[in-house]
Structure 1
Amino acid sequence: MSEFHEARLPARLAFGCTGGIERRTEVVGLASGFERRTSSWSQARRRYLIATAARPLDEIAELTAFFEARGGRLAGFRFRDPADFKSCPPSAQPSASDQPLGVGDGARKAFQLVKAYGTVARTIAKPVAGTVKVAVAGVAAPFTVDTTTGVVTLATAPAVGAAVTAGFEFDTPVRFDLDRLDVTLEGFAAGRVTACALVEVRV
C-alpha cells in the first residue's frame, strides 16, 4: 500500500480552491445509433486546484514545507473538501441518524463509516476525531472509532434487525498531483503558486 500521512492540509492554504467529482465512463457508439455506456469505477474520485490566488509569502512557505514533507506525489494526506465534509448538508450539524451503516445480526460489532449519495455509498476512511456519533435503533450507543480507517466498533453487538446509523465530519484522502511546485513573486510580501493540483486516493 502507498504511503499515507495523517496530517491535514491547513484550511487557509486551500481557501479559494476549485474542484469536483470525476468519473470514468466508457461510451461506445453502435451502428444503430444507440450507445453502450459502462463505468470503470465503482466510486468517484475528487480533484482540486488550490493556492491559485496571491497570498502572503509566509503561507507560500508553509505550503512549500507541507509539499516537501509529503515528498511531492509520494505520500497522501488529509484534505477538507469545503463543499463535502459532513454526513449532513454543510449548513447542518452531524447527528447520529445521518447515515445508515448496516443492520445488526446479534454478533457483528464493527461497521464501516459510509456516506450515501442516492444509491451510491462512499466509503469514509478519514473521519475527524471527536466528531463521530453513533446510534443503534435510534439510541446513542458506546463505541470506538479508528480515525485512520473509518471503522466503528460498538461496545455491544446490535440486536438482530437493529439499524446502526452515524453522523460525522470527514476529510478526503488526497495526494499532490505533481512533483514540482512553482512560485511566482507577486510583490515584496506576496506570491502565487501555479496550478497546485490534488487528486483523491484510495486508502
Structure 2
Amino acid sequence: MSVFHEIRFPFSVSIGASGGPERRTQIVPLLSGREQRNTPWADSRRRYDAGPGVRSLADIHTLIEFFEARRGPLHGFRFRDPFDNRSAAPDQAPSPTDQILGNGDGATTIFQLVKSYASGGESWTRIIEKPVDGSVLVALDGVATSDFVVDPATGLVTLASPPASDVVVTAGFAFDVPVRFDADRLDLALDEPGAASALSIPLIEIRP
C-alpha cells in the first residue's frame, strides 16, 4: 500500500532542478478556422526534473538511498519547488496577511491553507497541504495571533476559538509540494572518476 513519507527530497540533489505547473487543455479546431478550448482539469499539476542537480558520486549515493527507501514511485514525499515555495513573492518573507483563508462565522475553527494566483482580474486558488513546520503565521483582521496549531501533513489550521462573524482569517507560510518519482528506474551515468550525473529524475505532483 502506498503511503506518504513526510520527508523532503535531498536539497543537495535538488539544486538545479527544473520544472513548474502544467495544465491540460483540449483544443478543437473548427471548420471556420476558429477553435474551441476546454479543460478536464480544475487545477494545475506540477512536474519537475531533478536530474541536473546530480554532480558527484556522493549525490548519486544520496539519490539511490532516497529512491530505494521510497520504493521508487510507490511512496510520495516532499519537494521544495525552487520557484514557488512561499505565500509571498520569492524575494519576500511570509507575513501573516499574505493569503486569505476565509471569514469567521462564530463557529468554524479549522481553515485550510491556500495560495491564490491573480492576474488581470482572474484568479485561481491552490490548496496547500504541506506547509513547512514552524513557518505558518496567522492573523485575524490583520492582527497576528499565536492561538492556533497547524497540521504540517494536511495544511489545516485550527484556531483556539472560532473567529467572530466576518473576521478575515489570513496566513503566511513556506511550503513544499507533495510529489512522487514519475519513473520506476534511475538513469545514472559515471562521467569520469568521482563525477557522475543523472540523465533525468522526473517528479510529479500528487494532487489533493
Q: Which stretch has the larger CA shift, 55-64 or 30-39?
A: 30-39
In the alignment, what sits opposite 2:144?
140
Corresponding residue to 1:189 among 189, 194, 200: 194
State the distance in 1 between where 2:53 and 2:116 align.
33
State the distance in 1 between where 2:188 and 2:28 align.
42
Q: Which stretch has the larger CA shift, 13-22 or 99-108?
A: 13-22
How far did 1:174 drift?
Answer: 0.6
State the distance in 2 between where 1:166 and 1:25 align.
32
1:16-74 Cα distance to aligned partner (Å, 9 max, x none): 11101110011112223222111111110111111325512111100110000111111
Corresponding residue to 1:123 among 116, 120, 127: 127
1:131-153 Cα distance to aligned partner (Å, 9 max, x none): 00001111112100000000000
In the alignment, what sits opposite 1:85?
85
SS at match of 2:74: coil
How far did 1:86 drift?
Answer: 0.4
Unaligned ranges ≥5, structure 1: none
In the alignment, what sits opposite 1:60?
60
1:38 aligns with 2:16: no
State the distance in 1 between where 2:73 and 2:59 align.
20
State the distance in 1 between where 2:15 and 2:52 align.
9
State the distance in 2 between where 1:39 and 1:4 align.
28
In the alignment, what sits opposite 2:6?
6
State the distance in 2 between where 1:55 and 1:30 align.
49
TM-score normalised by the chain length of structure 1: 0.96
How far did 1:167 drift?
Answer: 0.1
State the distance in 2 between where 1:7 and 1:77 align.
6
SS at match of 2:133: coil
1:97-121 Cα distance to aligned partner (Å, 9 max, x none): 0000000001000000000011100
Aligned length: 203
State the distance in 2 between where 1:105 and 1:2 align.
38
In the alignment, what sits opposite 1:201?
206
Which runs of 4 or more aligned residues in structure 1 lie more than 6 Å from their structure 2 counterparts after TM superposition? Answer: none
RMSD of equivalent CA atoms: 1.2
In the alignment, what sits opposite 1:25?
25
Give yes or no for contact 2:105–2:164 (8 Å, CA) kept in 1. yes
State the distance in 2 between where 1:27 and 1:45 align.
19
Q: Which stretch has the larger CA shift, 168-177 or 8-17?
A: 8-17
State the distance in 2 between where 1:134 and 1:52 align.
36
TM-score normalised by the chain length of structure 2: 0.94
Give yes or no for contact 1:144–1:154 (8 Å, CA) kept in 2. yes
Unaligned ranges ≥5, structure 2: none
SS at match of 1:156: coil
SS at match of 1:63: helix
